[in-house]
Chains A and B, each alone.
Chain A
Amino acid sequence: MTPSTTHTAVPGALPPYRLPQRVTQLRVIRAEWTKLRTQPSAYWALLTSVILVVGFGIGYSLLRVARPPHGAAMASFDPAAISLSGVQLAQIAAGVLGVLLVTSEYATGLIRTTFVAVPRRLPMLWAKAALLAAAITAVSLPAAFAAFAGGQSILSRQDLSVPLSHPGVARAVIGSALYLAAVGLVGLGLGALIRNAAGGISALFGLLYGLPLAAGFLPGSLAADVTRYLPTGAGQTVTTVQPDSTMLHPWSGFGVLCAYAAVLLAVSAARMRRGDV
């Protein structure tokens, strides 16, 4: 048995590769970008997010223009928030994308190939976080503006609309996109921690919807005190214009949501850095 006659199936021998190699954070970001743009589920999640932001925002505006507010309700009427109400649904798509971005690697075993190439591991997590936040913001920002423009043009039929120049309105529109990006990072943190799509998505739903429900059962003012600091209760302040006295200041609230994402990513990073894959 001689090697030269045994592998006729090989079209060409492999030349040596003598160029310098080194893992850098920037290169890992480039690699993760290649993965993201060749992962169909990412497109679906982002498309779903856009459809929900624009579609639900316009739909709810149509509903409210048919049933305009009267009397006291007029004072708390928030036309910007109504046109941006799709964000409450789109956060599922954004969060699930975050979960899937990392759990899909664990599910297929690709994570081991990735970690052989990036043995320090954490550059992969930071790259995914940066690209996820950038991708969601890039897609959600135009969607939020479209939803706002569409919603306001509908609400203007009953003179209920508000201009973008009105105090807090531009912040709410931009804040909606940032909110979705932050929820995506919460999903990424959960996915990296739990390493399983079903578990990660369940935890995401618990955090986004379960906790506020549970907090609602708390007695009296305690409910408001707790809700104020939950991811959704805190984060959504940045997507509304009308100030709610029981809630945090918009940017403080958004900061609390970002802190949730940061803590989850830090804990999952600590787990990822050491241990078995």
Chain B
Amino acid sequence: MVARQTDLDHSELTMAANRLDAVRFAEVMRSTYKDISRISIGQSCAAGADFPTKAGLRTPATPERRAVSVIAMIEIHELTKTYGSTTAVSNLTFTVRPGVVTGFLGPNGAGKTTTMRMILGLDEPTSGSVLVNGRPPRSHAAPLQEIGGMLDPRAVHPSRSAYHHLLAIAQTSGIRKGRVDQVIDAVGLRSVAIRRAGKFSLGMSQRLGIAAALLGDPATVVLDEPVNGLDVEGIRWIRGMLQDLAAEGKTVFVSSHLMSEVAQTATQLIVIGRGQLIADTSMDEFMAAAAPISVRVRSSDQDALARMLRAPGVTVTQAADGALTFSGVSAGQVGAVAGAAGITVLELATEQASLEDVFVRLTQNAVEYRAGT
């Protein structure tokens, strides 16, 4: 079990490599022909087949009439945003790719929402640039098809029904009523669709916000803290939804201030603190690099074991209870050395810092700095 740890790492790396290939494949498909990539990566419907709708649509779209994006991704280059003398985002550069869920992590006040507002074209960068699907976010002729976003799930008129809220958004782009019904069904709001949105619970509001983001079947989805304040069922639902969207080849960018949340949903990770980029990596690499695995051992002859395992790159510390903690060796190696030397192993365990520990350690400086100003 313990000895398999390294093997597991290898297989995960291979999986990550495969995933990257899939991403590149999706990109190529998308850049070649957006509609084809959607059909082939997304739903298993026949090309040209129409979806059922209550509105009685006449004909499916002719592909030429749909604007074709270059590459469905978010490209952020040397992005800086200052409000007066406060710097919210400082010189950020990263790319969010299609086909995977990318987590956007940082403590409260790190600049996540500011960054997302600039991605959605709501705030203007002080300097630097944001490209969504190859173009500035405000320059798309069919914006809801390019980018769907949710910043604040409570941003609804309290006396308007969920249905009319969504209908008004859909109508700006000429999206049919049938689509509004589809997203309402997809997020599970059918039974409350005609109720005033102001009476919604936070969970229902989150679903409504996500429904609005998905109206135009966008290539890029940006959600700010979508699991905030949700119950277990709601969190599970959003996780599944995000993974489904990524599997369809969409670019999915989701912020959170909770590492554990991101760890369970995202495969790529952008970490910021104090408005600056801290990490831009895959989830697996982030874990491996930031949280080295250590081996805790208690044996009949600790001194001999420590001597035998001494090697470059191996460190050892002794705990108060006499247990030794090695890093740089695997539990299997420790067990093998002990066995060969006839040392009785009393306890042998692999330890890894929790994701939350890693995250806190990474962003600690940023938080301290903010608290001090």
Q: CB of B45 within 8 A of chain A?
A: yes
Interface-side segment among B6-14, B167-175, B283-291, B337-345:
B167-175
Q: Which residues of B contact A38 (CB under 8 A)?
A: 157, 159-161, 164, 168
Q: Evaluate contact between A118 and B172: CB separation under 8 angstroms.
A: yes
Q: Evaluate contact between B122 and A31: CB separation under 8 angstroms.
A: no
Q: Which residues of A contact B217 (CB under 8 A)?
A: 14, 16-18
Interface-side segment among B138-146, B293-301, B352-360:
B138-146
Q: Evaluate contact between B240 and A7: CB separation under 8 angstroms.
A: yes
Chain A contacts with B in 17-42, Cβ cutoff 8 A: 17-24, 27-28, 30-32, 34-35, 38-41
Chain B nearest CB, measured from A114 CB (Å): 8
Q: Evaluate contact between B190 and A11: CB separation under 8 angstroms.
A: yes
CB contact under 8 A between A104 and B171, given known A6-B236, A20-B65:
no
Most buried by A among B186, B190, B234: B186
Chain B nearest CB, measured from A182 CB (Å): 26
- Write out, one digit per residue, whether chain B residues 150-163 have a CB within 8 A of any chain A CB (1) or not (0): 01101111111100
Q: Evaluate contact between A23 and B173: CB separation under 8 angstroms.
A: yes
Q: CB of B311 within 8 A of chain A?
A: no
Q: CB of A75 within 8 A of chain B?
A: no
- Separation of A4 and B241 alpha carbons in the complex (Å): 10
Q: CB of A117 within 8 A of chain B?
A: yes
Q: Interface on chain A toward B: helix, strand, loop, or mixed SS?
A: loop
Q: Which residues of A contact B121 (CB under 8 A)?
A: 115-116, 119
Chain A nearest CB, measured from B58 CB (Å): 10
- Separation of A38 and B137 alpha carbons in the complex (Å): 29
Q: CB of A108 within 8 A of chain B?
A: yes
Q: Which residues of A contact B137 (CB under 8 A)?
A: 119
Q: Which residues of A contact B215 (CB under 8 A)?
A: 17
- Write out, one digit per residue, whether chain B residues 117-151 have a CB within 8 A of any chain A CB (1) or not (0): 10011111000000000000111111111011101
Q: Which residues of A contact B123 (CB under 8 A)?
A: 276-277
Q: Evaluate contact between A34 and B155: CB separation under 8 angstroms.
A: no
Q: Evaluate contact between B237 and A19: CB separation under 8 angstroms.
A: no
Chain A nearest CB, measured from B161 CB (Å): 7
CB contact under 8 A between A10 and B143, given known A15-B43, A20-B61:
no
Chain A nearest CB, measured from B15 CB (Å): 14
Q: CB of B112 within 8 A of chain A?
A: no
Q: CB of B77 within 8 A of chain A?
A: no
- Separation of A9 and B188 alpha carbons in the complex (Å): 7
Q: CB of A12 within 8 A of chain B?
A: yes
Q: Of all chain B residues, which has the CB nearest A41?
A: B159
- Separation of A16 and B154 alpha carbons in the complex (Å): 26
Q: CB of A67 within 8 A of chain B?
A: no
Chain A nearest CB, measured from B283 CB (Å): 13
Q: Evaluate contact between B171 and A34: CB separation under 8 angstroms.
A: yes
Q: Which residues of B contact A32 (CB under 8 A)?
A: 168
Q: CB of B303 within 8 A of chain A?
A: no
Q: Which residues of A contact B158 (CB under 8 A)?
A: 108
Q: Which residues of B contact A4 (CB under 8 A)?
A: 240
- Separation of A8 and B217 alpha carbons in the complex (Å): 21
Q: Evaluate contact between A115 and B122: CB separation under 8 angstroms.
A: yes
Q: CB of B42 within 8 A of chain A?
A: yes
CB contact under 8 A between A20 and B142, given known A32-B168, A39-B157, A108-B156:
yes
Most buried by A among B120, B212, B248: B120
Q: Of all chain B residues, which has the CB nearest A117?
A: B172
Q: Of all chain A residues, which has the CB nearest B35?
A: A18
Q: Evaluate contact between A39 and B236: CB separation under 8 angstroms.
A: no
Q: CB of B183 within 8 A of chain A?
A: yes
Most buried by A among B173, B215, B243: B173
- Separation of A24 and B142 alpha carbons in the complex (Å): 10
Q: CB of A120 within 8 A of chain B?
A: yes
Chain B nearest CB, measured from A112 CB (Å): 5
Q: Which residues of A contact B176 (CB under 8 A)?
A: 19
Q: Evaluate contact between B122 and A40: CB separation under 8 angstroms.
A: no
Q: CB of A110 within 8 A of chain B?
A: yes
Q: Evaluate contact between A16 and B147: CB separation under 8 angstroms.
A: no
Most buried by A among B120, B169, B183: B169
Q: Which of A12, A16, A35, A120 is close to B157, meaning CB atoms less than 8 Å apart?
A: A35
Interface residues of B (CB under 8 A from A): 35, 38-39, 42-43, 45, 51, 57, 60-62, 65-67, 117, 120-124, 137-145, 147-149, 151-152, 154-161, 164, 167-176, 179, 182-183, 185-188, 190, 212, 214-217, 233-234, 236-241, 243-244, 247-248, 264
8 residue pairs from A and B, CB less than 8 Å apart: A10-B240, A11-B190, A19-B60, A21-B144, A34-B168, A39-B160, A105-B157, A116-B144
18 new A-B contacts at CB < 8 Å, known A3-B239, A35-B157, A115-B122: A1-B264, A7-B239, A9-B234, A12-B182, A12-B185, A16-B51, A17-B175, A17-B216, A18-B61, A21-B216, A23-B173, A31-B172, A38-B160, A112-B120, A113-B212, A115-B121, A117-B143, A118-B143
3 closest residue pairs by CB, A with B: A7-B240, A109-B155, A31-B171
